[in-house]
Structure 1
Amino acid sequence: MTQNLTIGERVAWYRRRRGLSQEVLAGLVGRTTDWLSKAENNRIELDRLSVITSLADALDISLGDLLAEPTLMEWSADSGRRTVPALRETLMDYKQLTPLLSLAAEDEPPALQDLRGNVRDVLDAYQASRYGFATRRLPLVLADALAASRAYSGHEAEEARALLALAYHGAAMVLGKLGEPELAWIAADRGLAAAQSSGRSEVTGSLFRAVTHCLLATGRFTAAVQLVNDAAAVMQPELGDANNEYLSVYGTLFLAGAMAAARADDRATTQTFLREADEAAQRIGADANHMWTAFGPTNVAIHCVATAGELGDIQIAADLGLRIDTTALPVERRVRHSLEVARALSSWNRTDEALAVLLEAEQAAPEQVRHHYLSRELVIGWIRGTRGRPSHPVADLARRLGVVAGS
């Protein structure tokens, strides 16, 4: 219903539904009535999640309501015609809750080598921003991983549980990208339980990060910061002789924490977390992709850009963002950085450059661009700010993103 509105227009829509005046809502978020009026009428950009979250809290709605999430997953050759609903059915299957409610397995459990390859395919697809492919594959992969975790014993059981945890991690990350935070939470919760039972510290650390992202997706930034501190305390005793996998998981945990701190307007903690991540990256010494983290100095650098944008330091984000070479990173990381750069450029009225960055990102990862709120907000804002008809590239992009009605 509010898909084609800007965030400010959605604030106005929900405010009227709640029967609140501009004066009352502005007071609830510690702003002036003039500020809220300008925000609702697109004269001020609502581009900081800390501000958007405070408005959502005051209106008693979810962050996703103001971001117009989730968006519809288009059918494709990758996805087939069974997408998020099929994955929802899998996650909400009561037989996954306990072996007591499952029938005894009559077939041989899946071979661990095959399961290993299938989990890898899902996580690779996530990093390639092929969400349709991952969503289609996940129900079967989760079912196989669960069956293996219950059928094997000894070291094989530990590996099966680790693979189950990573499959849930993949589900949580994909669902988060698709604007399904509640389903992502279910997946992350189950993944963390499986990781702990596997006895593999690096897998448990990876699931800590998945839970952190779930908290970020629902606007619980302070809780996410606390989780990172608590998880780091659990992981720190093994840092002394940690291998690169462990260091990568530890470092990316702090990158997620830095985003949470920035969205909570906590500059000091943001910088502390970025420094901690940088120290881990320096120990590794180069960009890598251990445990599907894409962790290294470049990932730290793009988080410096992203946190600057969240803190409102737009000029820093634009200047630094354009100088970072992301070509060695997975598609998902490259495109996420491009969205931050496009936002910063647009905020400085460098719309043509921002559009060029966004179009290039769409070429690399159409699904990721379509499902990210920044893409939709940028395009709607450009259309609202244009007198007369928008340019053909903007109008065509709007149609592809599904934010403006058209044939």
Structure 2
Amino acid sequence: MWHNRANNPENHSGVTTARGGIVRGMPSTLTIGERVAWYRRRRGLSQEVLAGLVGRSGDWLGKIENNRIELDRLSVIKSLADVLDISLGDLLAEPSLLDWTADSGADTVPALRAALMNYRAISPFGHPSDGQELPSVIGLKQDVAALWSAYQESRFGYVTGRLPDLLHRAQAAADGLDGDDQDQARRLLGLTYQLAATQLTKLGETDLAWIAADRGLAAVRPTGDPVVTGSLLRSVGHALHSTGRYREAVRLTEDAAAYLEGHLRRPTAALLSVYGTLFLSGAMAAARANDPGTTRAFLATADETATQLGADGNHLWTAFGPTNVAIHRVATAAELGDVQVAVDLGPRVDTTGLPMERRVRHALEIARAYNSWNRAGEAQAALLDAEQMAPEQVRHHFLSRQLALTWIRRQRGKPSAELVGLARRLNVLD
């Protein structure tokens, strides 16, 4: 007989961390609404009081906590996290444990953390090559490109497991080479740090992502390269997104754009791609900050830049072009609550020419839009298709976990074997 766990968050205990909060130890088998209820009770707040603090009614919050209303807009989730004095990641159940696979090996995020916290990267003592021959710029460039390509194929375990060694070798080259080779090595080190920041953001490791982005900017600063600097600033924006600092991410977009505009008189395809992608990231931040005017303005600038570029491309692994702009129109519409736009436009966007990471991210938005439109069957089909394409990416995104848990909770009878299997693969069902 199917057993549906009672919706009583107080039955679950957390783990007290060094900073005194009750955070990461909470089971991943709670919906976001159930987490809200758990933290609300820990804070000693009634439903009416918490709802009033975010400008909502007690009835609305009651439905959220009992999974009768979907809670998938990050702006609303962030407002609740702020009042409860917890991080956005605490309500999204992040970070998620990175599974051991043949791709990842048994050294994953902790090994990457150790690489990022290597004091030699920020000390005056240099970064010795341990007596080994310094890597060549050509070989390093090939390795950086290969790992970025693996990320765009959504091979998250593979990327995480190999980043520490690549960071070590890129740092050794940046410290040990000279002249033009050193400048090229610094650029490659910056791009490696950017990949680390991007990957760690996907895994919910926001503090480490911030460190990686900061290290990348420091590495590339001596070169004065606007393209790589702009690319790294986009990762800073993603790190701001992941901690719910949406208005700061909007300001970063404006500042970064102003910096790049001085170099746009004769832009390369890579510079156009970085510039346009900054505005796509900024549009998401503006949507999550409930600022539709800025969202539209940023999307318009990105659209103009894509038109200037002329076609979809993947310069500096941006996947930028008209299709990525369309993807962001769907995602920002969903964040702003414009479900009709997301449902109408989303399925019509042909993403087959884009990297897997972009295709799957769009598929998750389609699943969210269908679910919000009470078309759960189509939503489940979209999510299952996305999982087939890139299981690691789906497993590490809050939308897929939230959707699967909500479908399980709303079942009046026994859930289908397909749905139960999905929930177990996403690690949200015991």
Which of the residues 292, 296, 299 maps onto 1:267?
A: 292
Structure 2 CA distance, aligned partners of 1:350 and 1:125?
A: 33
Between Structure 1 and Structure 2, the one with more helix by share is 1
AA partner of residue 356 (structure 1): A
> What is the CA deviation profile of residues 299-342 of structure 1, one whole-angstrom value per residue up to 9, with x for unaligned ones?
00000000000000011101100101000000000000000000
Cα distance in 1 for partners of 2:256, 2:403 equals: 35
**Residue type at the aligned position of 2:125:** L
Q: Find the counterpart in structure 2 of residue 367 from structure 1.
A: 392
2:14 corresponding residue in structure 1: none
What's the offset of the Cα at 1:62? Answer: 0.6
- Matched residue SS, 1:99: coil
Counterpart position of 1:327? 352
Q: What letter corresponds to residue 87 of structure 1 in structure 2?
A: L
* Equivalent of 1:162 in 183, 187, 198: 187
> How far off is 1:102 after superposition?
4.8
Matched, 1:135 2:160: yes
For the Cα contact (< 8 Å) 2:127–2:172, is it kept in 1?
no
The residue correspondences of 1:130-209 to structure 2 (distance < 5 A) are 130-209=155-234
Give the 5 Å matches for 1:4-403. 4-100=29-125, 102=127, 106-403=131-428
Counterpart Cα distance in 2 of 1:206 and 1:101: 26
Residue identity opposite 1:395 in structure 2: V
Report if the CA contact (8 A) 1:379-1:394 is conserved: yes
How far apart, in 2, do the equivalents of 1:122 and 1:60 lie?
37
**Deviation of 1:44 (Å):** 1.4
The 2-side partners of 1:231 and 1:101 are apart by 30
* Cα distance, 1:195 vs structure 2: 2.1
AA aligned to 2:323 is T
Corresponding position of 2:16: none
Q: Which amino acid in structure 2 is aligned with residue 23 of structure 1?
A: E
User: How large is the Cα RMSD of the aligned pairs?
Assistant: 1.1
Secondary structure of 2:194's aligned partner:
helix
3-state DSSP class of the match of 1:325?
Answer: coil
* Cα shift at 1:198: 2.3
Amino acid at match of 1:31: R
Structure 1, gaps ≥5 residues long: none
Amino acid at match of 1:335: V
Q: Is the 8 A contact 1:158 1:199 kept in 2?
A: no
Identity in percent? 62
Q: Distance in 2 between matches of 1:99 and 1:123?
A: 30
- What amino acid maps onto 2:154 in structure 1? S
Q: Report the Cα distance in structure 2 between the residues aligned to 1:377 and 1:23, rounded to whole angstroms.
A: 24
The structure 1 segments of at least 4 consecutive aligned residues displaced by more than 4 Å after TM superposition are 101-105
8 Å CA contact 2:213–2:235 kept in 1: the answer is yes
Q: Which AA in structure 2 matches 1:49?
A: L
Q: CA deviation at 1:105?
A: 5.2
Q: Which runs of 5+ in 2 are unaligned?
A: 1-25
Query: How far apart, CA to CA, are the structure 2 residues paired with 1:98 and 1:144?
Result: 17
Separation in 2, partners of 1:372, 1:53: 16
Q: How far apart are the structure 2 equivalents of 1:101 and 1:237?
A: 34
Return the alpha-carbon distance in structure 2 between the equivalents of residues 345 and 103 of structure 1.
Answer: 54
| Corresponding residue pairs, total | 405
Q: Which amino acid aligns with 1:106?
A: G
CA distance in 2, matches of 1:368, 1:138: 17
Q: Residue 15 of structure 2 corresponds to which residue in structure 1? A: none
Residues 195 and 207 of structure 1 are in contact (CA less than 8 Å); yes or no, is this contact kept in structure 2? no
TM-score by length of 2: 0.93
TM-aligned CA deviation for residue 279 of structure 1: 0.7
> Structure 2: how far apart are the matches of 1:327 and 1:106?
46
Asked whether the 8 Å contact 1:94–1:101 carries over to 2, the reply is: no
CA distance change for structure 1 residues 123 and 104 in 2, over 3 Å: closer, same or farther?
closer
Deviates more, 1:202-211 or 1:91-100: 91-100
Partner AA of 2:118 in structure 1: D
Q: Secondary structure at the match of 2:193?
A: helix
Deviation at 1:366, TM superposition (A): 0.4
